[in-house]
Homo-oligomer: A and B are copies of this chain.
Amino acid sequence: MQFASDNTAPVHPRVMDAIMAANDGPAMPYGEDELTQRAEALLRDTFGAADALIVTTGTVANALALSALVPPFGGVICHREAHIQTDECGAPEFFTSGAKLLLADGPEGRLMPEAIDGVMAGFVHGIHQVKPAAVSITNATEMGGIYTPAEVAAVADGAHAHGLRLHMDGARLANALVATGVPARAMTAEAGVDILSFGLTKTGAMLAEAVLVFDATLAGEFGRRRKRAGQLVSKMRFLAAQFIALLEDDLWLELAAHANAMAARLAAGLKAHAGVLLAHEVRGNTIFAWLPKALHERLREAGAVYYVWRDEGERLLVRFVTSWATRPEEVEALLKVLARTR
């Protein structure tokens, strides 16, 4: 009953096979090999992007992407619960040479165009204030929310109307695509995203993160930005192979569909329990739910692993995350504990 994070999952066997297969004789280093060329082409093609750069973590993908959008005296509007604000130890400030995150609120971790307007309304002091230059959203969000392509487009329009560029953190993009049933381009390039952090590590890879650049004018500088960040991996073919394995034949979407289905099953069971309150409609692979203390203790005793987000004594807000590796039996086992604890 492992629901702590999709990061706890192992690597999908087909990804592992691809890594093995890549280990075939010498290859040029630093991404000048044939597999990397193929992976980058596949990434560009999947998203309709001008450029694709493979990196090693989602944090660095986000921070590098923002560094290309925002001057050091700039600002990035994002949700108060965005990963870039809460869980990256200042990486965005580091990579942007000191830009400021400008926080806003919104349901389920989603930022609405009105929230952008709200932040911008406070920028009336000219050069005494930083220059807002970008908006960053996450899809699916850290709180389990999912933007539709229309919603992304609305945010993009809202951002662009203020002269701001739009970044999307796509650490769980596959889950959002499956939930909304749209292709990758519809959610990104066609919806007005300027730059994307795209992660497949949570989806089933070992180490596969990338920055996708939609605005061609931004692409030129990225090679040096990546190198300077210590992210130009020498034996890059082994990262490239992971992208190829997952993107070809849409394995990534298949794995995300499984994760979403497991979450849906789990959410349905939680919702049916009188004492449990779901914090949001569950469409992706993340569930936030309020549990009564007694139920939480039964689940822990039974071996269920998940994070407590807030502890209010008599009730707790907890997070369950499913992955490609979540087995139906794990969900059923948890639901059985639920059923026993009325």
Binding site for B on A (CB under 8 A): 2, 4-5, 7-11, 16, 19-20, 23-30, 55-64, 71-75, 86-91, 93-101, 125-131, 201-202, 206-207, 221, 223-235, 238, 325
Contacts and interface: CB of A to CB of B under 8 A. Distances in A.
A4 B32 CA distance: 13
The 9 closest A-B pairs by CB, nearest first: A60-B230, A7-B29, A97-B97, A93-B98, A127-B223, A59-B230, A7-B234, A89-B227, A8-B26
A209 to B, nearest CB: 9
A72 B71 CA distance: 11
Contacts of A238: 11, 206-207
Contacts of A56: 56-57, 207, 230-231, 233
Contact of A72 (B30, B57, B97, B226): B97
A23 B11 contact: yes
Contacts of A93: 93, 98-100
Majority DSSP secondary structure for residues of A touching B = loop
Contacts of A99: 90, 93
Contacts of A59: 227, 230, 232
B16 A87 contact: no
Contacts of A9: 26
Contacts of A235: 7, 11, 201, 206-207
A331 B93 CA distance: 46
A109 to B, nearest CB: 16
User: How many copies of this chain sit in the oligomeric assembly?
Assistant: 4
A129 B10 contact: no
Nearest to A74: B90
A75 to B, nearest CB: 8
Contact of A87 (B2, B57, B89, B128): B128
B24 A234 contact: no
Nearest to A27: B8
A62 B72 CA distance: 18
Nearest to A92: B98
